[in-house]
Structure 1
Amino acid sequence: MPEDASMLKEFVLEIPEQIGLPVAARRKPQAQSGEWPEGTRIVSADSHILESDLWIDRFPEHLKDQAPRMLFKDGGWDLSINGKSMTMEKQAADLCNTLECYPGFTDVDARIADLDIEGVEKELIFPQRLFGLIIFGEIANKEHVFGAYNEHIAEVCAKAPGRLYSVMVPSYWAPEKAEESVARCVELGARCLMVPIKPGNYESDGATIHYNDPRMDPLWAAIEASGLPVAFHIGESLPNDAPGKAGISGLMQFQGFRLNWGQLVFGGVFDRFPGLKAIFVEAGLSWIPGMLHDADLVYNSFAATVTPKLAHAPSWYWRNHCYATFMTDPAGLEMLHRIGPETALWSSDYPHQESTFGYTRSAIDAVFKATTVENAQMILGKTALKLFQMED
């Protein structure tokens, strides 16, 4: 929060309650002050739960010394592999003080109590520190690292049936094993599958993974057959030590997913797998209209050189295959006619710093103010209920 109170008047943020908020660990859920239109259901399409020390007991005996460890020490949660910490001591303490030691991040009962106050019926649960493993380079023992996480998050969500739904990671590093991997995720109760923005290398030969490479088709085929959507989520970049690092890192991560979307569209993935659905998580909505215009411009202007030839204009694939989540995005909501209200998914991002936690009801009210009741109810929950098969 800026030290100069006069600066608060300069922000372009349009929800008064989100300006000058305390850190997430010191916020209180926002109580009800009015009624939403009849038939409204609120679903967060992106929320997070902090991992525990989940790997050591699930790793094979001969690999236990290589298992990631998640231990609380020196005032914060430390994630390490082979004794090498993935979190600087000060950073771990800062994360604890700002959000990771908030009860609802690890305690399901405390979490549900917050959701009830803020009016959130259901949440789709993404990882927290798992992104850290991706940031720090190639992950050894991916089958066990992600397999253990998938089992763990299934157990956590089972503590609140009908309220918490899991996102799991299939074998993106070994697409030839995708059918079995995706089947296991489905067996565990996944409602969405996640792959990294920057997937690294293939397990078998160390070649760089490109999502538009037909070599990845077994993965897309398995995901399409499962009926689950595939998600890309921000959070794989680490700020450097130069001035402004935190602001720059956040700004760059919110800029959108042009690379990943372009790979799926221009690589012909959606043409080959017409039932595939993709979700682009936590970058908001406002990046989409410009990207769609640019994609059509490129395809039209370079018609002789852009291959493969597509069955539709590039922008067509957005409204027929894609979705994006946002917390607050007044600019994006003004451009719903270009994005498609049926492709927008509201989320609270509970309980992150940039989350709506503490002003969730005001953030929901802002969606109703920005569009029709029908559109708002789709965005706030009805689309998510269907997409993530949450009507169980």
Structure 2
Amino acid sequence: MSTQTSTLYPPGGYGAPKDRRGHAAGSDVGLPQGTVVFSADNHISLADDIFYDRFPDELKDKAPRIWYEDGAYQVGRQGQSFLPGDFSAVLMQYDDLPGAASTNIEARIEELREDGVDKELAFPNAVLALFHYPDKKLRELAFRIYNEYIAELQERSNGHFYGAGLINWWEPEGTRRTLAELKSLGIRTFLLPLNPGKDDDGNVIDYGSTAMKPVWDEIEDAGLPVTHHIGETPPKTPCQFNSVVVGMMINVDGFREQFAKYLFTGILDDHPGLRIGWFEGGIAWVPWALQDAEHLVASYQHMFNRPLQHDVRHYWDTHMSASFMVDPLGLQLIDRIGVDKVMWSSDYPHNESTYGYSEKSLKAVVDAVGPTDAVKIVSDNITTFLGL
């Protein structure tokens, strides 16, 4: 174990988040007084049966349902969960925390405060199972209801909670419609899947195709930043032992394909106003991806059927940023990534979150980059990303 991580991790690990508590009260992590710690990537479990409650009466029998079972909030229909077994097993590690579910925003704010966190950007948990709900009209309706619900939580939080919304990405009129509604609700960003699924003809959607340009036009015009999140790349082969952690190890794999599509298929050249955030994959992958991209440009540009308008580094510096929880290696490479391009997060309430030891994680940031740059990483950069 490296020196940095040995000071963070006890030999037996931290255990289930539902058994942890924050210990940041009174801790001096080295940040300037008055720093507002803003976690760039947290999660919230939907606990209210909002789709059934808010679907029109004639569609209620088709609504996805939310229910609590064996320590986890499930999403599904007719008593059948849409979630893989490993996903449910992970939810059981934290959904019983008072603040993990959406029904107690006050407890959530207090739990985060005890852990040294003042504000948060929160992504969905089980609701991600609706990304590929087969009926696209019902899928969009569910997304719009989720956005309304998240906006209500934002309002009740008095500036402590910001939620990532969900949009229609499969046809431009729906993209425009859902983004306009998202903005009217005060939601500052949205989660775009790494795996866009299939179009109405059954073909896998290619984000970099000419057919998708009108969708990107709408996203750029809306002016909201795009977020991508790990968690859509399951293992490619069976795993008898420790399948959860094997799955977690490869979760960041999905970033590379979409990162390459932004650079090499013209998405960013055609849409210079886009801003993209990569969440929960750490930051150490960034120099590696940039290095590989530069090498591949030199090796393959004679075969390109669409030239790049800029060098590789331009696309990262102009358009992108990424979040991390604990990344000593990434912080060592901060000069290659950019101190304005990285955002700290606690990832509450996940297993891999720093919940219960966030003061140690925050101090590690200060020790690595100094107090002034640490303020950017733990507060200013996510504030700027969200346009707050």
Give yes or no for TM over 0.5: yes
Q: Secondary structure at the match of 1:45?
A: strand
Q: Does 1:99 align with 2:94?
A: yes
Q: Which residue of 1 aligns with 2:267?
A: 269
Q: Secondary structure at the match of 2:310?
A: coil
User: What amino acid does structure 2 have at the position aligned with 1:225?
Assistant: D
Q: Which residue of 2 aligns with 1:67?
A: 63
Q: CA deviation at 1:15?
A: 5.7
| 1:136-194 superposed Cα distances (whole Å, 9 cap, x missing partner) | 77465211121121111111222102111121111112233221221011111111111
| 1:298-335 superposed Cα distances (whole Å, 9 cap, x missing partner) | 11221221232111112220011001110010011111
Q: Distance in 1 between matches of 2:22 and 2:253?
A: 28
User: What amino acid does structure 2 have at the position aligned with 1:22?
Assistant: G
Are the counterparts in 2 of residues 78 and 85 from structure 1 also a CA contact under 8 Å?
A: yes
Q: Which residue of 1 aligns with 2:219?
A: 223
Q: TM-score, normalised by structure 1?
A: 0.90
Q: Which residue of 2 aligns with 1:25?
A: 18
1:163-312, aligned counterparts within 5 Å?
A: 163-202=160-199, 204-238=200-234, 240-255=238-253, 257-312=255-310
Are the counterparts in 2 of residues 344 and 379 from structure 1 also a CA contact under 8 Å?
A: yes
- Go from structure 1 to structure 2 and tell me whether the alpha carbon gap of 1:138 and 1:298 turns closer, same or farther (over 3 Å shift): farther
RMSD of aligned Cα (Å) = 2.1
Structure 1, unpaired ranges of 5+:
1-9
Residue of 37, 40, 43 corresponding to 2:38? 43
1:102-117, aligned counterparts within 5 Å?
A: 102-106=97-101, 107-117=104-114
Q: CA deviation at 1:89?
A: 7.6
- Go from structure 1 to structure 2 and tell me whether the alpha carbon gap of 1:311 and 1:55 turns closer, same or farther (over 3 Å shift): same
| 1:84-107 superposed Cα distances (whole Å, 9 cap, x missing partner) | 322468974x44541011111122
4+ long deviations beyond 6 Å: 88-91
Q: Distance in 1 between matches of 2:295 and 2:169?
A: 31
Q: Which residue of 1 aligns with 2:128?
A: 131
Q: Which residue of 2 aligns with 1:6?
A: none
Q: Which residue of 1 aligns with 2:5?
A: 14
Q: Secondary structure at the match of 1:304?
A: helix
Q: Distance in 2 between matches of 1:244 and 1:331?
A: 25
Are the counterparts in 1 of residues 234 and 250 from structure 2 also a CA contact under 8 Å?
A: no
Q: Distance in 2 between matches of 1:167 and 1:288?
A: 23
Q: Distance in 1 between matches of 2:283 and 2:171?
A: 32
Are the counterparts in 2 of residues 224 and 276 from structure 1 also a CA contact under 8 Å?
A: yes
Q: CA deviation at 1:82?
A: 4.1
Q: Distance in 2 between matches of 1:59 and 1:300?
A: 53
Q: CA deviation at 1:342?
A: 1.0
Q: Secondary structure at the match of 2:260?
A: helix
Q: Distance in 1 between matches of 2:144 and 2:44?
A: 17
Are the counterparts in 2 of residues 213 and 267 from structure 1 also a CA contact under 8 Å?
A: yes
Q: TM-score, normalised by structure 2?
A: 0.91
Q: Distance in 1 between matches of 2:4 and 2:202?
A: 45
Q: Which residue of 2 aligns with 1:374?
A: 372
| 1:17-66 superposed Cα distances (whole Å, 9 cap, x missing partner) | 43321210000112232152245331111111111221112223222112
Q: CA deviation at 1:368?
A: 0.7
Are the counterparts in 2 of residues 44 and 124 from structure 1 also a CA contact under 8 Å?
A: yes
Q: Distance in 2 between matches of 1:128 and 1:75?
A: 14
Are the counterparts in 1 of residues 46 and 73 from structure 2 also a CA contact under 8 Å?
A: no
Structure 2, unpaired ranges of 5+:
none
User: What amino acid does structure 2 have at the position aligned with 1:59?
Assistant: F
Quick check: 154-163 or 318-327, which moved more? 154-163
